[in-house]
Amino acid sequence: MAWQKDGGVSETRERVAGADVAVARRRGWRIAGVVALAALVAAGGYYYRSHGATPVAAPTPALAQVTVSLPLRRDVDTRLGFLGRFAAVDRVALRAQVGGTLTGIYFKDGAVVHRGDLLFTIDPRPYEIALAKAHAALASATARLDLANRELSRAEALKRSDYGTAENVDQRRYDARAAEAAIADSNARIDDARFDIAHCRITAPFTGRIGAHLVSIGSLIAGSRAATSPTTLLATIVSLDPIHLDFDMSEADYLAFARYRATGHGALGQPVAITLADHQFYRPGGVLDFVDNAIDPASGTMRARAVVPNPDLLLTPGEFARLRLQVAPPAPTLLVPDAAVLPDQDQHIVLTVAANGTVVPKPVVLGDLRGGLRVIRSGLLPTDRVVIGGLVYAAPGSKVATHPGTIAYQSVH
């Protein structure tokens, strides 16, 4: 038993010793692997240092392409722009001068009517009756005058033979004069009745466009010859050719116009260019027709007006339009495409390209459009290369590649 105990202890010690050997072997393999990896890294570094490496160059980005041109230089006059509204030269509210029943309407709503065209008729029978009465009164007055003249002649003959009295002569003379007055009154009543009958037919006072009829056949309308009396509005008619274009000048604009007029250039009758609401130029243009004699103290503006031919009846009263009025003689001016002008907060800029290819923005003061181009009043030099194409690629301060372009003036405008 003692031997077995000693032998078991010895066996246990042998197993523990073997486990320690195995752990030591695994540690040894790990250390060997780390050493081998370090040797490979060291060898790679030595090879890289010994043989060197060829660096790969990053590709250089291509410059953005833009189109540039020198601003167009041209002699143009200075014009001021205004917003105006067309108004009829003549406008009439059609109202009857006689009352009665409306018996006829002889136009189509919105049609163009001509001077003298029949528009409405009113029942004339009451006025025809009045005319007949006036004729009857005239006949009666004429008969009384004839009798009074005969009696006057007899009274005068009797007085000459001393068979009549002076009072009788005076009475017969008075009767004759009263008969003459009755004849005059009857003639006036005839004219009055004829006037009423004539105005039972309402005609167009001038050529123009008529609006919708505001009464229907069979309506009893009120008429009067006095403008202050209540009457029935039948329709409205406006003239179309020519037509007025009313607008207001600010005080500063009026001063510019007045200075130009003082030089003997700007005056009534000078032409104005007109642009309609669809941004199309109107041909023929108009001429300045009227400038008021005082500035309105409430608005600080001067009332003005142009008269515009309208042979094709394209223009309509109440329509808005823009007009340009010359206030300075032609002078050298720079022009660029309107698309080349960019808004920048409260100002406008034009992008230019410097000699080194850098995009440089320049604040400019704008004028009106001329020949399809934008007038540049200041801020740009004749030698500046203006970006007219590829604006989306021309960021201020960036480098760009340029190729030349041209700016064309459209003389039709």
CATH number at residue 313: 2.40.30.170
> Left if phi > 0, otherwise alpha if psi is -120 to 50, otherwise beta: which for 35?
alpha
In a domain, residue 14? The reply is: yes
> Looking at residue 4, what is its pLDDT?
42
In a domain, residue 58? The reply is: no
- Residue partners of 135: CB distance under 8 A and separation at least 6: 186, 190
Least confident of 23-27, 148-152, 164-168, 409-413: 23-27
Beta strand 359-370 pairing with 347-353: antiparallel
Residue 169, token pair as written in the block: 């002569």
Parent domain of 262 = 80-88+242-329
Query: Using CA of residue 370, residue 372, residue 375, residue 381, what is the dihedral sign?
Result: negative
Q: Are residues 335 and 325 in the same domain?
A: no
* Position 261 pLDDT exceeds 60: yes
In a domain, residue 61? The reply is: no
Reported as a pLDDT band with limits 50, 70 and 90, residue 49 is: low
In a domain, residue 59? The reply is: no
pLDDT over 90 percentage in the chain: 42
For the residues 349-361, what does the mean pLDDT come to?
A: 92
Reported as a pLDDT band with limits 50, 70 and 90, residue 233 is: very high
- Domain-ending residue, one of 308, 329, 350: 329
Reported as a pLDDT band with limits 50, 70 and 90, residue 50 is: low
Start-to-end CA span in the chain (Å): 131
In a domain, residue 157? The reply is: yes
Q: Are residues 321 and 364 in the same domain?
A: no
Beta strand 341-344 pairing with 286-291: unpaired
* CA-based nearest residue to 252, from 367, 80, 31: 80
User: How far is Cα 303 from Cα 291, in angstroms, rounded to an integer?
Assistant: 6
Q: Are residues 123 and 202 in the same domain?
A: yes
Q: Are residues 99 and 213 in the same domain?
A: yes
User: How far is Cα 271 from Cα 286, in angstroms, rounded to an integer?
Assistant: 6
Q: Are residues 351 and 306 in the same domain?
A: no
Higher pLDDT, 17 or 292: 292
Higher pLDDT, 365 or 26: 365
Reported as a pLDDT band with limits 50, 70 and 90, residue 413 is: very low
- Domain-ending residue, one of 238, 258, 283: 238
Q: Are residues 301 and 337 in the same domain?
A: no
In a domain, residue 318? The reply is: yes
> Looking at residue 383, what is its pLDDT?
92
> Looking at residue 352, what is its pLDDT?
94
Reported as a pLDDT band with limits 50, 70 and 90, residue 275 is: confident
For the residues 350-370, what does the mean pLDDT come to?
A: 90
Q: Are residues 96 and 234 in the same domain?
A: yes
183, β-bridge pairs: none
Q: Are residues 317 and 335 in the same domain?
A: no
What pTM value is reported for the model? 0.64
> Looking at residue 353, what is its pLDDT?
93
The model's pLDDT over 4-48, given as tens digits with 9 standing for 90+, comes to 444 444 444 444 444 444 444 555 445 445 444 545 545 555 544
Residue 254, token pair as written in the block: 């009026």
Higher pLDDT, 280 or 102: 102
> Looking at residue 266, what is its pLDDT?
66
Q: Are residues 124 and 32 in the same domain?
A: no
Q: Are residues 146 and 206 in the same domain?
A: yes
Q: Are residues 337 and 356 in the same domain?
A: yes
What is the average pLDDT value for the chain, to the nearest integer?
82
- Provide the number of structural domains found in the chain: 4
pLDDT over 70 percentage in the chain: 84
For the residues 211-225, what does the mean pLDDT come to?
A: 90
